[in-house]
A and B are shown apart, each in its own frame.
Chain A
Amino acid sequence: MSEQITPEVFNHLVELAALELTPEEAEYLRRQLNNQLTAIDDLSQVPLDPDTPVASHGVPYTPATSAPIRVDEWHPHPDPAKLLKGAPETDNGYIVVPEIPHQDI
């Protein structure tokens, strides 16, 4: 069984993903990830010419099939209060969040 994703690598991924996991969850998810990587490693069997391009989508975008790029301009939303209704905490039209930690870069 693949162990490419070690506990150390896994903990780093959890941090990047902005998650927190119980030990049981972490064990299950790490095992599944390593199983998936074994399946993914099948891709290394594919002979690839150096000129094989990447495909970020399947159907080609051509001027004949795509809308022209629209003008980048802003429009006021007709009902901002409706959008804010979904926010967990608001104050006078602002969204409230907990303290933002300071970080020296």
Chain B
Amino acid sequence: MKLHELTALEISQKIKSRQLSAEEVLDAHLGQIVAVDGVSGILDGNPAAEPDKVHAFITLTAERARAQAKAVDEKLAAGQDPGPLAGVPVTIKDIFCVEDTPSTAASKILANFNAPYTATAVERMEQAGAVILGKVNLDEFTYGSSNESSAFQPAPRNPWDTSRVPGGSSGGSAASVAAYEVPLSLGTDTAGSIRQPAAFCGVVGMKPTYGRVSRYGLIAFGSSLDCPGPLSRTVSDSALMLNVIAGADPRDATAATVPVPDYLAELENGVRGLKIGLSPEYFQITYFHAESGQLETQPVPNVMKNAVLDAAQRLAAMGAEIVENVAMPHTRYGIPAYFVISRVEAASNLHRFDGVKYGYRAQSGITDLRSMYRKTRAEAFGPQPKLRILMGMYVSAAQYSEQYYNRALRVRSLLRRDFDEAFGKVDLLLTPTTPTSAFPIGGLYGDSVLMQYADQLTVPGNHAGVPGISIPAGLDTDGLPIGIQFLGPDFSEDVILRASRAYEIATQAEAWRQAKPPVTA
């Protein structure tokens, strides 16, 4: 096996046992990046540049990575333990602050921003011996499901078919892991932004319970919804990374003080006795049809449904009890409620970008402070942030907030109640992750409504705050990955990871498990 194909667990074990050096591992991954990634995204770059490459990166920090790898090797030479991620190369979604590196949020307004501090999740990975290869691309401020809205072009492409999107918003994270550029990436999930790109790129992506991982140093979108989490090629690697990043943080009052179990400890213990629920509401999608102006309900494609049913059968054969017809009656309202709640939170969070303290400032046509604000924000925000600010202002305005914002927050109570009642009956829910596999670049972009519905099966978990994971479950007839999702009660990441690992074992002989993205050939 080639070095860049090793898992994070294998890398840390081989480095700790001195079979490999961290620098050798780094070189192998930098070599893979040179081979498959192509040019990094740049401001006003050409979206069509090198259409057969992945383009996961905005900023490759090879020198910083070299210093970190050397430090790991020196620690080992001195007889010290560098930590559980010893020498493991990782990428960071460019929505996290990393000290003295560009931290852009894929927006022109932060293109010149060098963070003066490091996010907690990143700091914990560095302290555990991880080697950070750089910052990877995303939708501008995470606002999207395809990465096409990034101000840094070319945007990432799907390693399984580079004419298709990698999903989003953690598209650079998922693409970099799928293309064997790194075994681990740190992403964020506000409506599905870890799980959807993980499904599209055929990798594992976990959204932990809200508050399980600190948001300190994460550039905020929806503060009541945002969850940092791992992306990896194996379930065990996500468990390993969650061990490192989870836990209380005095710098984030919303980070839970719940003790962090060892997510690797019971990973192989199987699903015997677990009750796993299937919900009819997760086998259909309701979406707003732009031409007819009507809401339409359709079943999810058979390939998605069958992947879930096949997984249920395999888990049943391993001793799980499958419970059908678990009612989740408010699932379809997840997107409309999200259209309101996330916009209000985004508009509030985006008011800090004003050209005064950091980031872009407009230079011409400025008469006073107010015109500087307007011109700065007009010139440096793309259409997606502008849309979110405007909608957030509208639905929270005094005369509309009862009709929209308060109503959405009350519907959120019902979405949470669906999960509370379901988890009174079952330990986990098993669902498709997405209503489709990766769509073509240009296929949806521009239609902000249809794009949002890509998150229909993932967003209820964000409203409720519960943890979820997407794991690879095969390829469709176009050779594109499909994902299945487990959802569980608050702080049940250990159970979710155990069930995911059981499915991985149950499918390890399948031909699709051996398939690799064509871009890596």
Contacts and interface: CB of A to CB of B under 8 A. Distances in A.
B242 interface: no
B333 A100 contact: no
B290 A33 contact: no
Interface in A37-52: 38-44, 46, 48, 52
A43 B411 CA distance: 8
B365 to A, nearest CB: 10
Interface string B206-238: 000111000000000000100000000000000
Contacts of B209: 59
Given A42-B333, A43-B336, A66-B257, A52 B413 contact: yes
B104 interface: no
A98 B339 contact: no
B387 A46 contact: no
Q: Which of B339, B395, B410, B447 has the most CB of A within 10 A?
A: B410
A105 interface: no
Majority SS at the chain A contact face: loop
Contacts of A54: 406, 409-410, 412-413
A52 B295 contact: no
B318 interface: no
Given A57-B465, A59-B211, A21 B393 contact: no
Q: Which of A57, A59, A69 has the most CB of B within 10 A?
A: A59
B356 A21 contact: no
Contact of B465 (A28, A46, A59): A59
Interface string B316-346: 0000000000000010110111011000000
A56 interface: yes
B378 A35 contact: no
Interface string B332-372: 11011101100000010001001111111100001111111
A82 B373 contact: no
Contacts of B358: 86-88
How extensive is the interface on chain A, given as a class? 35 or more
A8 B347 CA distance: 20
Contact of A55 (B293, B369, B412): B412
B518 interface: no
A84 B448 CA distance: 37
A55 B290 contact: no
Q: Which of A32, A33, A61, A101 has the most CB of B within 10 A?
A: A32
B256 A66 contact: yes
A104 interface: no
B18 interface: no
B366 A98 contact: yes
Given A59-B210, A67-B255, A86-B358, A20 B411 contact: no
Contact of B250 (A10, A20, A70, A101): A70
Contacts of A69: 253
A21 to B, nearest CB: 7
Q: Ordered nearest first, which 10 A-B pairs have the shortest CB separation? A: A58-B465, A86-B358, A59-B465, A88-B361, A54-B409, A20-B378, A55-B412, A55-B413, A39-B288, A58-B464
16 contacts: A18-B373, A19-B378, A33-B390, A35-B290, A36-B339, A40-B340, A43-B407, A43-B411, A58-B463, A59-B466, A66-B256, A69-B253, A86-B116, A95-B356, A98-B366, A98-B367
Interface of B: 113-114, 116, 209-211, 224, 248, 250, 253-258, 288, 290, 293, 295, 330, 332-333, 335-337, 339-340, 347, 351, 354-361, 366-375, 377-378, 381, 383, 386-387, 389-391, 393-395, 404, 406-416, 447-449, 452, 462-466, 490
Given A20-B374, A35-B288, 10 more contacts: A18-B370, A19-B378, A39-B449, A44-B407, A65-B256, A67-B248, A83-B116, A88-B359, A88-B361, A95-B357
